[in-house]
Chains A and B, each alone.
Chain A
């Protein structure tokens, strides 16, 4: 069993739709990261959470420590949001990654 599970694996949306990607984890964590990976490999860190909620532009990330669950929301989705979104948790300086959610936003 993977320490980090993401859902859905693939997601297709129409431009403007509200999108939610979920992440559940089974280990104790120091922090949780949401990452964005574009074709070609480059990864960008979107959020680092240890509690509560963070917002950056159209992106919102929440975490529930008790339930070991985090969500990434994208409001008013746009084709440029198309990418793979990866949840990663940190446990004693060790990183565990989800397998990613491939998002395709159609115009």
Chain B
């Protein structure tokens, strides 16, 4: 049983470009959350998707958007990239409510130059 898988693992983009990151949740999980982790800091919650809807959102600008597909996989899109968007982007999946174990992917390292 594959856990949470993310792609790509590493990528480099130029300021102003757009990026799409992908996440496949653990089998049987219907909830996907995205996090941004800058170097040396704790993760920051971006948003959570459940039943193809954004259920909760952290303090991120509208440049950060997402989508969840009927098979529960998810995408994170970031438009008009800034240097400060350089970070590790983590995806986590879970099922049921907030009192269930969450499983993290290995993350996508984004560098904006």
Contacts and interface: CB of A to CB of B under 8 A. Distances in A.
Interface of A: 4, 30-31, 33, 35, 40-45, 48, 50, 86, 88, 90, 92-100
Interface of B: 33, 35, 37, 41-45, 48, 50, 55-58, 88, 90, 92, 97-104, 106-107, 109
Contacts of B103: 45
Contacts of A42: 104, 106-107
15 contacts: A31-B98, A33-B102, A40-B106, A41-B88, A41-B107, A42-B104, A44-B104, A45-B103, A48-B101, A50-B99, A93-B56, A94-B58, A95-B33, A97-B43, A98-B42
A94 B106 contact: no
B42 A41 contact: no
A41 B109 contact: yes
B42 A95 contact: no
Nearest to A35: B104
A85 B37 CA distance: 14
B42 A97 contact: yes
A77 B103 CA distance: 24
A16 to B, nearest CB: 28
Contacts of B35: 95, 97
